[in-house]
Amino acid sequence: AIKAEGMRAGVAINPHTNVSLLEDVINDIDLVCIMSVNPGFGGQSFIENTYKKTRQLKEIILDNNASTQIEIDGGVNSQNAKKLVDAGADVLVAGSFVFKSQDPKQTVKELKQIANS
């Protein structure tokens, strides 16, 4: 695949999409966004199967010696951040958890500390 200078290719997959579909193209993808809620609106509950999908995708990335990053989007909070990173996530997207908190700046700081602990 030919990519423009600085251009990155990403793929987003819905909660019920199997990550094995990406196996043949993983080396052409810079980032995979695993949706951990059904897309459409904020504030939904985190789908627990996301941990398993993240581990499976990380295995595909390692088996193919790819540099693909894994992003998790939806329902990310202080209870699941560390577990997601441990499963192989590189990027966590937290919307409602941050912006509905009393101190969004402090919440982001705490979330980063938890994820990096």
**pLDDT over 70 for what percent of the chain?**
96
Is pLDDT at 97 greater than 80 in this prediction? yes
Instruction: Report pLDDT for 44.
Output: 78
Place of tokens 């789908």: 47
Pick the CATH number of 10-115 from 3.30.70.1350, 3.40.50.2300, 3.20.20.70, 3.40.1280.10: 3.20.20.70
**pTM as predicted:** 0.89
pLDDT tens digits, 17-42: 999 999 999 999 999 999 999 988 77
pLDDT tens digits, 33-84: 999 999 887 777 899 999 999 999 999 999 999 999 999 999 999 999 999 9
Instruction: Report pLDDT for 92.
Output: 95
**What's the token pair of residue 66?**
């790819």
